[in-house]
């Protein structure tokens, strides 16, 4: 069906990222917990038992967009910019990606189990 889609999710990726606006944040990486959900256009037909991986997207691509695509040494003032970078990486890698949702929790300021952060949702440009 035209409205069918596949959502791939990778949750709880921990990454050290140079981000922040306060002086104590700007020189050391901060620990972030990142989760990524991608809406992927489906191929025609159904997924059969022998459907190859090429018919979908490898989950590891989502993880690598967080752990490997962020340039080392680049400071992101806002975690929103981190999320945008991850989203644009996923759009550039695969034209089947229709929407990306990224949740980022700033672990350094979270206490007592709370999760302080953002959720960014981008649709294919």
pLDDT of 124 higher than 60 = yes
Q: What is the pTM of this model?
A: 0.89
Identify whether the C-beta of residue 87 lies closer than 8 Å to the C-beta of residue 101: no
Q: What is the pLDDT of residues 44-97, one digit of tens each?
A: 778 888 888 888 889 999 999 999 998 888 889 999 999 999 999 999 999 999
Q: Return the CATH fold of 5-123.
A: GTP Cyclohydrolase I, domain 2 (3.30.1130)
Of 98, 117, 84, give the one whose Cα is nearest residue 7. 98
State the virtual CA torsion across 21, 25, 30, 35 in degrees, nearest 10: -10
Q: What is the pLDDT of residues 11-27, one digit of tens each?
A: 999 999 999 887 666 67
For residue 15, what are the CA distances in angstroms to 38, 46, 100, 123?
A: 19, 35, 18, 24
**Under DSSP, is residue 54 helix (H, G, I), strand (E, B) or coil?**
helix
Greater confidence, 101 or 111?
A: 101
- Sequence ranges of the domains in the chain: 5-123
């Amino acid at each position: 069906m035209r409205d069918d889609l596949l959502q791939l999710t990778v949750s709880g990726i921990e990454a050290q990222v140079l981000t922040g606006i306060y002086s104590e944040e700007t020189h050391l990486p901060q620990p972030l917990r990142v989760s990524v959900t991608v809406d992927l256009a489906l191929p025609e037909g159904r997924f059969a038992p022998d459907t190859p991986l090429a018919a979908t997207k490898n989950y590891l691509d989502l993880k690598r967009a967080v752990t490997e695509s962020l340039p080392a040494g680049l400071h992101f003032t806002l975690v929103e910019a981190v999320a945008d970078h991850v989203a644009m990486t996923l759009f550039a890698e695969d034209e089947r990606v229709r929407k990306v949702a990224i949740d980022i929790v700033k672990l350094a300021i979270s206490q007592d189990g709370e999760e302080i952060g953002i959720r960014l949702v981008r649709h294919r440009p």
